[in-house]
Amino acid sequence: MDPKQNEKLRKVQASYRKKKIRYRSKGDVSRTWTLAVGAGVLIMFFLLIMSVLFDIGVPLPSFFGR
């Protein structure tokens, strides 16, 4: 290979590695948001069930302040 092709190849490989590292780090952020949204959905689901139970006359646990 001539030196110009080697230089081009190095540039392409460097940009590929940077892009690969960038996408890898986005996966961690995505996982964190997925966990946060999942926890929020579970909390809201719990509160929804508790409100339905309260509406039909089941006494609420003491940590709700009643």
pLDDT, one tens digit for every residue, the chain (66 residues) = 677 788 888 888 888 888 777 766 566 667 888 899 999 999 999 999 988 888 898 887 787 765
Domain ranges of the chain: 3-59
pTM score: 0.51
Confidence at residue 40, expressed as pLDDT on a 0 to 100 scale: 97
Confidence at residue 50, expressed as pLDDT on a 0 to 100 scale: 86
| 14 vs 28: CA distance, rounded Å | 22
Does residue 54 contact residue 66 with C-beta atoms inside 8 Å?
Answer: no
Rounded (5°) CA angle 2-14-5? 10
